[in-house]
A and B are shown apart, each in its own frame.
Chain A
Amino acid sequence: MQIDAIYFDGETARDRPVRLTRMGGNLQIEEDSLPPTSWSIGGLHAIDTPAPGQPFRLTHVSKPGARLVIRDEAFVKDLLAQNKALHGGYGWRHVGQVLGWTAGGIGALMLAGYIALSVLPQQVANLLPQSWRTKAGEQFVQSLVGDSNRCDTPAGRSAMAAMVGTLAEGRPDMPPISVEVYNLPIVNAFAVPGGRIIMTRELLKTADEPSEIAGVLAHELGHVALKHPEAQMVRVAGLEVLMGALGGGSSTMKNAAGLAALLRYSREAESEADAYARETLVAASVDPIGFKHFFEKIQKLEGGSNANSKDGKQSSLSKIGNLFSTHPGTEERIQKIEPLPAGKTPVPVLDAAEWAALKSICGG
């Protein structure tokens, strides 16, 4: 059968009336002034999905710029029967393709996320020069303590130095640190980049024995020695890069995923610092039960609720080195603290005068 159709050659805008004939697997296109061309039916591409009442628009692999417009529905039906791919539209293959790419994309993102959040931060943290760490530490302290006063008396300071010295007995490789007490009405201790440890007035007030504070100090020492604050800082920066590279997408979803990732690593850091503290206390012959008691005391005091956040919405940054982050697992952390092994006698951490001086470092 022969029908009339319109042909655009893709070189001029002229519409050329042509005659179409299907000859086996080929489509013969004839025009008055030109020699006939032949298109294989297998090489045809539908421009739009065929729809009743709509002209069917086709092109061919051999001439992708050309367009053939067919209005004869019987002829179109015949072509569709010859080449199923011309039906076009959405199929399960399309959906499968999208899901496959999505799965691949999520896989690639997870790999990138793993590298940026798990592998790199600790490595980069070890490479950071001291001057960078100090600068960052200053800014963290500024944002954590605000304009509250630093507590400092000569006697209190030497008591703290004595405590650090006692712990150093068990840790000859202890990194240089400075411990500062601030006049803050919350029970907390932080380690910030650059080897600074911050304790609060309320923390000292809550403790009844020097060994309790020694436990807290050993825990924060663990953060410093393992460069946790630095690693978390690099992690946050890496997360920013990852988010920046991701560009679009739902930002709420991305932020939630980012925060979840950061929290996961901060939990990991807490248990690492706990382990460091347990080892240090045993090696320095300081009774770890003080640390345990203090933990239990805090848990009771706070009634299991998270009272660490000053205003309930801390930035992910200030979670660094947060001692008592309450989450499922606190119970387990307490359970892991064991008394000194048999045969080891606990040494007194501070004498009565030193302890009194430390307790009153903020005056009163």
Chain B
Amino acid sequence: MENVFPQASGSQAEALIFRYVPRPGLLKLCIINFLLGLVTFGFYRFWARTNVRRHIWSCTHINGEPLEYTGTGWELFMGFIMVMLFFGLPVAVVYAIIALSQGPESPLLVMLQGIVAFIIYVLWGFAIYRARRYQLSRTQWRGIRGTLVGSAAIYSLLYFGSIMAKGMSLGWATPVMNTVLKEHITNDMRFGDAAFKFRGPAGPLYVPYAICWVLTLVVAVVAMVLIGGFVGSHKDWFDMGSTASESQTAKAAIAIVLLVFAGLLLFSAFTTMLWSVYISAEYRTFAKYTRFDGAPFRLDVSTGSVIWLTLGNLLLALLTLGIAWPFIQQRTVRFVVDRLALEGLVDIDRIRQSTATLDRRGEGLADAFDVGGL
């Protein structure tokens, strides 16, 4: 690769090695965050999230130098306050005025709820983009921070379009739309003045997608036939007519509830595992299409590892009633960092600081909508 920035000192390209080096202290953070969350009625969550990010970032090493998270709880809190002031409060006031003038059971209230839901859908992508930009701009490595340089509004439209396209195509637009979204946000991504590039077709993703989609359908149909057959062969259970005694009716009700519950549990367990095939393919493919300073990434994610990640996180969340969320985030970050490699050399020394202005507040919308992520 040609060096376009002549350097006085003899800088040279080097490989990047990603490593997650755990540090003690996350358990203590967990407990403190939980306790302070209780006494502050949940308002400590902005500071809790910040502490956990700072910890996880500092465990993520690239060439021996850790990432640094420079965001503050106050920034997240102010983001939340702004969203409440300009979104939550106006909606509540309009709601109250309609309830008072049109009565508490006016159909206008249902309409308002519909409009709010629509606005949330439209702004969902905006929230994701702004949250990502905030996190990147608060992430430093070797004193250089990242950012997103594009427009959150355009991403928002794209995201809304992708939701519509996925829905209308019964999901079949998913690989294309996900690739387009990834391409858009990755091409906006910078580390200092060095750019990330994403270029690649969605075609290869269609093989795993088709497998998952068709198998899901088959399993759903089989499950329905099985349940239908069961109901058919135990007609007397479900006969609520005059001959049915009270105990029979109760037995049937319990049987139906158990059956539906077990069926749903089995079905969701199966589909979670099945769709890990597609998710792991997306991980691998998207990493391959992403280049930093011309060098492509490689992410060695297998289907089994995605299942283990999802299952482990689910168990952690269930067994600790969600208190262990910092460990879930650590597992998720570690999952990627441990499997990530850059296939090529980068001239790190010539990367300069980003000149993009910093957001003063953080990810209020993302918090309000709970878009997920870290």
Given contacts A13-B192, A67-B143, A244-B89, A233 and B68 within 8 Å (CB-CB): no
Q: Please tell me if the beta carbons of A233 and B104 are within 8 angstroms of each other in the complex.
A: yes
Q: What are the nearest 4 A-B pairs in CB distance? A: A244-B92, A8-B143, A237-B96, A139-B103
Q: Please tell me if the beta carbons of A132 and B101 are within 8 angstroms of each other in the complex.
A: yes
Q: Please tell me if the beta carbons of B96 and A241 are within 8 angstroms of each other in the complex.
A: yes
Q: Please tell me if the beta carbons of B103 and A136 are within 8 angstroms of each other in the complex.
A: yes
Q: Please tell me if the beta carbons of B100 and A237 are within 8 angstroms of each other in the complex.
A: yes
Size category, B interface = 35 or more
Nearest opposing residue in chain B for A194, CB measure: B103
Q: Does A272 contact B (CB under 8 A)?
A: no
A229-271 CB mask vs B (1 if < 8 Å, else 0) is 0000110111011011111111001000000000000000000
Q: Min CB distance, B145 to chain A, in Å?
A: 9
Q: Please tell me if the beta carbons of B92 and A11 are within 8 angstroms of each other in the complex.
A: no
Q: Min CB distance, A126 to chain B, in Å?
A: 13
Give the complex CA separation of A207 and B39 in angstroms: 52
Q: Please tell me if the beta carbons of A51 and B349 are within 8 angstroms of each other in the complex.
A: no
Q: Does A66 contact B (CB under 8 A)?
A: yes
Q: Which of A124-182 contact B (CB under 8 A)?
A: 124, 128, 132, 135-136, 138-140, 142-143
A-B contact pairs, 18 of them (CB 8 A): A10-B143, A10-B144, A12-B192, A12-B350, A12-B351, A13-B141, A67-B68, A101-B40, A102-B43, A105-B40, A140-B103, A140-B104, A240-B95, A241-B93, A241-B96, A244-B89, A246-B84, A249-B42
Interface-central residue, A15, A54, A135, A248, by most chain B CB under 10 Å:
A248
- Majority secondary structure of chain B interface residues (helix, strand, loop or mixed): helix
**What residues of B have a CB within 8 angstroms of the CB of A11 in the complex?**
143, 352-353
Q: Does A43 contact B (CB under 8 A)?
A: no
Q: Which of B267-323 contact A (CB under 8 A)?
A: none
Q: Does A57 contact B (CB under 8 A)?
A: yes
**What residues of B have a CB within 8 angstroms of the CB of A237 in the complex?**
95-97, 99-100
Q: Does B183 contact A (CB under 8 A)?
A: no
Give the complex CA separation of A245 and B90 in angstroms: 9
Q: Please tell me if the beta carbons of A13 and B349 are within 8 angstroms of each other in the complex.
A: yes
Given contacts A244-B95, A247-B80, A12 and B352 within 8 Å (CB-CB): yes
Given contacts A237-B100, A245-B84, A247-B84, A98 and B143 within 8 Å (CB-CB): no
Given contacts A11-B353, A12-B350, A51 and B92 within 8 Å (CB-CB): no
Which of B101, B102, B349 sits near A14, CB closer than 8 Å?
B349
**What residues of B have a CB within 8 angstroms of the CB of A249 in the complex?**
41-43
Residues on A lying within 8 angstroms of B by beta carbon are 8-15, 33, 47-48, 51, 54, 57, 65-67, 69, 90, 98-99, 101-102, 105-106, 124, 128, 132, 135-136, 138-140, 142-143, 233-234, 236-238, 240-241, 243-250, 253, 317
Q: Does B151 contact A (CB under 8 A)?
A: no
Q: Please tell me if the beta carbons of A247 and B368 are within 8 angstroms of each other in the complex.
A: yes
Give the complex CA separation of A233 and B140 in angstroms: 52
Give the complex CA separation of A98 and B43 in angstroms: 10
Q: Min CB distance, A129 to chain B, in Å?
A: 8
Given contacts A237-B96, A238-B96, A247-B84, A9 and B143 within 8 Å (CB-CB): yes
Q: Does B245 contact A (CB under 8 A)?
A: no
Q: Does B45 contact A (CB under 8 A)?
A: yes
Give the complex CA separation of A33 and B348 in angstroms: 20
**What residues of A have a CB within 8 angstroms of the CB of B32 in the complex?**
90
Which of B41, B92, B101 sits near A253, CB closer than 8 Å?
B41
Give the complex CA separation of A317 and B100 in angstroms: 13
Give the complex CA separation of A99 and B88 in angstroms: 26
Q: Does B15 contact A (CB under 8 A)?
A: no
Which of B42, B95, B143 sits near A66, CB closer than 8 Å?
B143
Given contacts A10-B353, A245-B88, A143 and B105 within 8 Å (CB-CB): yes
Give the complex CA separation of A47 and B68 in angstroms: 8
Give the complex CA separation of A135 and B216 in angstroms: 50
**What residues of B have a CB within 8 angstroms of the CB of A13 in the complex?**
141-144, 192, 348-352
**What residues of A have a CB within 8 angstroms of the CB of B351 in the complex?**
12-13
Give the complex CA separation of A246 and B41 in angstroms: 11
Q: Does B44 contact A (CB under 8 A)?
A: yes
Q: Min CB distance, A88 to chain B, in Å?
A: 11
Q: Min CB distance, B80 to chain A, in Å?
A: 7
Which of B42, B89, B100, B349 sits near A250, CB closer than 8 Å?
B42
Q: Does B91 contact A (CB under 8 A)?
A: yes
Give the complex CA separation of A51 and B21 in angstroms: 14
Q: Please tell me if the beta carbons of B100 and A234 are within 8 angstroms of each other in the complex.
A: yes
Which of B42, B99, B143 sits near A65, CB closer than 8 Å?
B143
Nearest opposing residue in chain A for B46, CB measure: A248
Given contacts A136-B103, A237-B96, A237-B100, A98 and B144 within 8 Å (CB-CB): no
Q: Please tell me if the beta carbons of A65 and B353 are within 8 angstroms of each other in the complex.
A: yes
Q: Min CB distance, B43 to chain A, in Å?
A: 7
Given contacts A13-B351, A138-B103, A142-B105, A244 and B88 within 8 Å (CB-CB): yes
Q: Min CB distance, A33 to chain B, in Å?
A: 8
Q: Min CB distance, B288 to chain A, in Å?
A: 25
